[in-house]
Structure 1
Amino acid sequence: MEALFIYLIKSSGLIVLFYLAYFLMLRKETFFNNNRWFLLAGLITSVLLPFVFITKIIWVEPTVTPINWSNVRITNYTEEKTFEAYLPILTALAYGIGVLLLLAKFAFDFYSLNAVLKGKIIQQQADFKFIDIKENVAPFSYFNTIVYNSALYSASELENILEHEKVHSEQNHTVDVLISRLFCTVFWFNPFIWLYQKAILQNLEFIADNEASKRISDKKAYQITLLKITTQENCVAITNHFYQSLIKKRIVMLNKNQSNKRNSWKYALVLPVLVAFVFLFQIKTIAQEKTNQNVSKSVLDVVTTINKNFSDEELKKKTEFFKKEFNCDLIFSEIERNSSNEIKGITINYNGNLYGNGTYKQHGTSAIKDIYIKHESGKINISDAKIDAKIKNEKITASSDKTLSIDKEIFINGEQVTQNDMDKLDPDEIERMDVNKKNDQQEIRIVTKKFHKTLTENDIYINGQKVDKNELLQLDQNTIDKMDVNKKEKTIRIITKTNTQTFNDKDIPTPPTPPKFPDGPMPVAPAPDLSQIPAPPTHPSNLDDKKAMAKFEKKIKEYEKKMEFFEPDMTAYEKKVEEVMAKRKKIFEKEMAKYEEAMKK
């Protein structure tokens, strides 16, 4: 659930980025087709880029003092659920309801479109299907189908309208409409997606107007047709309408000089911001421990122990191991067991090109003593417990040229085990191995992958302070007094003995919980109020009348200036957000001061 929310937030941020880039730099340019692909690329990028990650590997030094968990008191506890625990579920529920409602509206719009088209006569001309209806509906196109009411327009007006709708159909503008509608359904909570959809639809009208005006001889008549049908507001959803509420902008764009091609550099400005997004939010950091590649893994298997409790399967694994590691045939035969299934008799034969041949036997009425199979200096040596002391005093040399003692202590996940337990461990399950020498004694510490994963998946706190896995493994196990594991919250909390020293026979209180940065509702982003938009100015009847045209152009500029009322609202919105965050920061700083004072006590 959390991953989905993070994805939606990242995608929403990218949508805002592309919309602002279009609104601030491109909306007044006449690169209509380029703007179309820029807006569509913005939607596709916002969906795909959050899946792109750069992996960064940090190498850390391996630890040599794992915690002996067997000496630590572990308790499990669960906490009662608070409102915060239900908040993700309520948020997901609200989001799901919004999506379902918009999907229902989407389906209803398809039904309404089908109701308009059902049973109508279709006239096929070239690649287009024309439907002449009687309903008072604004002309529209849906893929290669063009719908209009011929009774509402003159022949010349109808010609202008059809040329406009043919452009929509030829360039598959319906696909853009459906894609923008789908994004509004998924990202309905983001106010900018609705502005983004409006920008897409408006730009499609610019494209159709621009291309249609090139095919029509009387450009003036085309503009008059636009002004004539501004009062017709009956439109079918999910289609390309001839009518748009921003009719003034369409007329302005028709009369605007073509933008200089040198202004195309504006499209590239979004690339550095996308790169910054990747480096700020799309980097996965993976910590890997350095390993000593010079130490041969045969250090662990220099001495292999066979004891009375070995099963036939375990003996078989020893045979396979010696064959794989040393190319030596190790054969166990004449195996006898007592009533407790303990081995009381066994014969071991070994045969290898480098080791020669040999046989070892141990048979009796009682269980066998431990048998040591030692690989040293290219030779196989098998002995029993009677000469164990001699083996312990011998030294073996690893490939790292460090002298290690056969007398050793073995720890798996912090718990001391026997040689037999280590021999049973599957090498593929080992995450890390540390080999240390203390005086004449060898110490081997092993961390399994399962245990390593457990530490990685949990948040670790020592005396109330969050630490990473490596700090935990470096902690002296003798200083641990108590450890609490919360499986539900996936946390490990450790209290050390220095933190529980008694005073007047009473324990010092557990350190306080660090404060969280305050959260809460943010100011609502402004949305343009279409009711404030004035009526478009009357187009001069004579385009050659310079005085009338100058007056018209002046009104156009004034009207365009009023249309930009939304920009101050956005500035005010940003200021409100800054004020809210500043207040929350002050509250957080006060809480942090209290927390630090409590920590000192």
Structure 2
Amino acid sequence: MIVILKIILCSSLLITFYYLFLQKEKMYQFNRFYLIFSLIFSYTVPFISIETELPKQANRAQTVLEATQQILDLTPKQENVNWMNLVWIIYAIVTLFFLIKIIISIVKIKNLKGEKIIYQNHNVVLTKENLSPFSFWKTIYLGRNYLINNKIDSRIFLHEKSHLEQRHSIDLLFIEILKIFTWFNPAIYFYKKAIVTNHEFLADEFVLKNDFNVKDYQNLILDEIISSQNYNLTHTFNFNNTKKRFIMMSTKKSKLTNVKKVISIPILIAAFGLFVQKTYANNIEHAIKATQNKFSEPERKSTAESIGENIRQIKTIPTEEAITEKLPLKTNAEEKVLDTIRPKSNQNVNTTPETSQNRNTNISENDNTILPQFPGGMNELRTKISKTFDGGKINASKNKEMYRANISYTVTENGTVADIKVSGDNELFNNETLLSFKRANENITWKPAEKNGKPIPYTLRIPLTMSFQ
């Protein structure tokens, strides 16, 4: 969702810059390049990730992600509308509509019947109906009435010829394909309008470079406006944005043209800095990785030896009473499920933190429940959290050297993470913990928990500790 928002914001920023500073300048080739490049730029930058160092802080913060704790989800299942599925259905319907629309447009053009001729080394289709001249791909289409004495008006032919030689149809197909799959981006419609208008400026410029009278050419265009024939994906000679075309025909090149070209470069650089993904590498990440490695050793050393003198962590997993205190029993059925995970009176409770690997592959013998699994394992989840955790936002108190938070979350039957809650004694620490956890689960689908072979919702908890030196 964040990536989509970045694409919309980035493309909107760049097209706004075009309309404000570049559109009225007589530099059509540069504008064509800018429009296409800024579109590609907007749709790729949010997916680029760069690693940067956090600024050094007065207090060195170190965080430890402890062993994941499991909490059986005893929430009664309810028949709720899955809004995400509904959104995907709406997206698919609208996307299919635009796809069908573009296919119909192409089929209509290809089905136009007429005499195919080669005119000045270009493919021309002469239709029986009085069709206003337009071009698509490598062919010019026009009514037979435009061929007089086996000649086509030079101005009309040059106009359409310029569209073919400059391959403007590729630009239109590109923008249409983007519109099919990202129709929800309002900027895409402004890009299409700007690209088509700039194509007409280029074609008009090509004609007038051949020493044709500007007023006569403008009168020719006005005569053609009467025609109502219009096809999508094409460049029609009687393009309806006549006023802008006439203005640009008589506009002289501005002295600021080169300056505006140069200004567009820092604008792109600024957009890159704003919308690129940033990952942070610092001591926090290294401390967490070191802790994970120690947890995965067969014969784990003591906590002080494994993670250093400046890192503290709680080594025991809460007993059954501590785990379930936030999930009050409401039904006999729930009490039965709890009995399956409560240790018997003659058994010892294991107070040693288990590794994420052992936790995720654990299968309860009593209820045949397989726990949820993060792609790559829980160590991968911890690593992703550490990369995005910004310790610089935490102001360490002089009277407190350690902060602790518990991340509680539910992995649904669909493998999505829901009901994320963070509890702790420091609001800044809690907020950054929540943000880091959400970033780590962005565009991620868990393997849901299973009971008797069927996916079920399951609640887990990860304690997070930060100590200051």
Structure 1 residue 446 displacement after superposition:
9.2
Question: Which residue of structure 1 aligns with residue 135 of structure 2?
Answer: 141
Question: Which residue of structure 1 aligns with residue 410 of structure 2?
Answer: 486
The 5 A counterparts of 1:153-164 are 158-164=153-159
CA shift digits 1:305-356 (9 cap, x unpaired): xxxxxxxxxxxxxxxxxxxxxxxxxxxxxxxxxxxxxxxxxxxxxxxxxxxx
Corresponding letter in the other structure for 2:177: L
Question: Which residue of structure 2 aligns with residue 434 of structure 1?
Answer: 307
1:181 paired with 2:176, answer yes
Task: Say whether the 8 Å CA contact 2:218–2:246 is kept in structure 1.
Answer: yes
Take 2:21 and 2:403, find their aligned partners in 1: how far apart are those partners?
A: 56
The SS at the match of 2:232 is coil
Take 2:196 and 2:263, find their aligned partners in 1: how far apart are those partners?
A: 23
Structure 1 residue 142 displacement after superposition:
1.6
Is the alpha carbon distance of 1:274 and 1:213 closer, same or farther for their aligned partners in structure 2, counting shifts above 3 Å?
Answer: closer
Task: Say whether the 8 Å CA contact 2:118–2:124 is kept in structure 1.
Answer: yes
CA shift digits 1:149-168 (9 cap, x unpaired): 14157679722211111111
Take 2:212 and 2:63, find their aligned partners in 1: how far apart are those partners?
A: 82
Question: Which residue of structure 1 aligns with residue 286 of structure 2?
Answer: 289
CA shift digits 1:475-527 (9 cap, x unpaired): 78xxx9x996634436786879x9xxxxxxxxxxxxxx9xx9xxxxxxxxxxx
Is the alpha carbon distance of 1:276 and 1:251 closer, same or farther for their aligned partners in structure 2, counting shifts above 3 Å?
Answer: closer
Is the alpha carbon distance of 1:83 and 1:147 closer, same or farther for their aligned partners in structure 2, counting shifts above 3 Å?
Answer: farther
Structure 1 residue 449 displacement after superposition:
7.0
Task: Say whether the 8 Å CA contact 2:407–2:420 is kept in structure 1.
Answer: yes
Task: Say whether the 8 Å CA contact 2:67–2:356 is kept in structure 1.
Answer: no
Task: Say whether the 8 Å CA contact 2:294–2:306 is kept in structure 1.
Answer: no
Corresponding letter in the other structure for 1:144: K
Structure 1 residue 270 displacement after superposition:
3.8
1:235 paired with 2:230, answer yes
TM-score normalized by the length of structure 2: 0.61
Is the alpha carbon distance of 1:57 and 1:106 closer, same or farther for their aligned partners in structure 2, counting shifts above 3 Å?
Answer: same
1:121 paired with 2:115, answer yes
Question: Which residue of structure 2 aligns with residue 272 of structure 1?
Answer: 266
Structure 1 residue 221 displacement after superposition:
2.2
Take 2:420 and 2:244, find their aligned partners in 1: how far apart are those partners?
A: 62
Take 1:255 and 1:453, find their aligned partners in 2: how far apart are those partners?
A: 62
Is the alpha carbon distance of 1:82 and 1:46 closer, same or farther for their aligned partners in structure 2, counting shifts above 3 Å?
Answer: farther
Question: Which residue of structure 1 aligns with residue 208 of structure 2?
Answer: 213
The SS at the match of 2:209 is helix
The 5 A counterparts of 1:64-213 are 75-77=71-73, 79=75, 86-116=82-112, 118=113, 120-151=114-145, 158-213=153-208
CA shift digits 1:393-415 (9 cap, x unpaired): xxxxxxxxxxxxxxxxxx9759x
Corresponding letter in the other structure for 1:289: H
Quick one: which of 397, 422, 430 aligns to 2:299?
Answer: 422
Question: Which residue of structure 1 aligns with residue 366 of structure 2?
Answer: none
Corresponding letter in the other structure for 2:36: L
- Matched positions, count: 340
Task: Say whether the 8 Å CA contact 2:287–2:307 is kept in structure 1.
Answer: no
Structure 1 residue 87 displacement after superposition:
2.7
Is the alpha carbon distance of 1:86 and 1:208 closer, same or farther for their aligned partners in structure 2, counting shifts above 3 Å?
Answer: same
Q: Over the residues paired in the alignment, what is the CA RMSD in angstroms?
A: 4.5
Question: Which residue of structure 2 aligns with residue 249 of structure 1?
Answer: 244
1:19 paired with 2:15, answer yes
The 5 A counterparts of 1:507-522 are none
The SS at the match of 2:183 is coil
Take 2:381 and 2:115, find their aligned partners in 1: how far apart are those partners?
A: 69
The SS at the match of 1:215 is coil
Structure 1 residue 219 displacement after superposition:
3.4
Task: Say whether the 8 Å CA contact 2:8–2:186 is kept in structure 1.
Answer: no
Take 2:231 and 2:143, find their aligned partners in 1: how far apart are those partners?
A: 13
Take 1:84 and 1:265, find their aligned partners in 2: how far apart are those partners?
A: 57
The 5 A counterparts of 1:380-419 are 413=295
Larger radius of gyration: 1
Corresponding letter in the other structure for 2:103: A
1:33 paired with 2:29, answer yes
Take 1:279 and 1:84, find their aligned partners in 2: how far apart are those partners?
A: 41
TM-score normalized by the length of structure 1: 0.48
Take 1:433 and 1:153, find their aligned partners in 2: how far apart are those partners?
A: 88
Percent identical? 24
Taking CA–CA contacts closer than 8 Å with sequence separation of 6 or more, which of the two structures ends up with the larger relative contact order?
2
Structure 1 residue 279 displacement after superposition:
3.4
Structure 1 residue 226 displacement after superposition:
0.6
Task: Say whether the 8 Å CA contact 1:141–1:241 is kept in structure 2.
Answer: yes
Is the alpha carbon distance of 1:288 and 1:122 closer, same or farther for their aligned partners in structure 2, counting shifts above 3 Å?
Answer: same
CA shift digits 1:445-487 (9 cap, x unpaired): 999575544556789xxxxxxx9xxxxx9678xxx9x996634
Structure 1 residue 280 displacement after superposition:
3.6
Structure 1 residue 132 displacement after superposition:
1.4
Is the alpha carbon distance of 1:78 and 1:221 closer, same or farther for their aligned partners in structure 2, counting shifts above 3 Å?
Answer: farther
CA shift digits 1:7-53 (9 cap, x unpaired): 33222222211211111111111111111111111111112211222
The SS at the match of 1:288 is helix
The SS at the match of 1:20 is helix
Is the alpha carbon distance of 1:79 and 1:456 closer, same or farther for their aligned partners in structure 2, counting shifts above 3 Å?
Answer: farther
Is the alpha carbon distance of 1:485 and 1:246 closer, same or farther for their aligned partners in structure 2, counting shifts above 3 Å?
Answer: closer
Corresponding letter in the other structure for 2:143: N
Take 2:186 and 2:288, find their aligned partners in 1: how far apart are those partners?
A: 51
Take 1:53 and 1:484, find their aligned partners in 2: how far apart are those partners?
A: 28
Is the alpha carbon distance of 1:214 and 1:453 closer, same or farther for their aligned partners in structure 2, counting shifts above 3 Å?
Answer: closer
Task: Say whether the 8 Å CA contact 2:133–2:236 is kept in structure 1.
Answer: yes
More strand by share: 1
Task: Say whether the 8 Å CA contact 1:53–1:278 is kept in structure 2.
Answer: no
Task: Say whether the 8 Å CA contact 2:116–2:124 is kept in structure 1.
Answer: yes
Is the alpha carbon distance of 1:7 and 1:63 closer, same or farther for their aligned partners in structure 2, counting shifts above 3 Å?
Answer: closer
Is the alpha carbon distance of 1:213 and 1:98 closer, same or farther for their aligned partners in structure 2, counting shifts above 3 Å?
Answer: same
Task: Say whether the 8 Å CA contact 1:130–1:146 is kept in structure 2.
Answer: yes
Question: Which residue of structure 1 aligns with residue 457 of structure 2?
Answer: none
Take 1:230 and 1:210, find their aligned partners in 2: how far apart are those partners?
A: 19
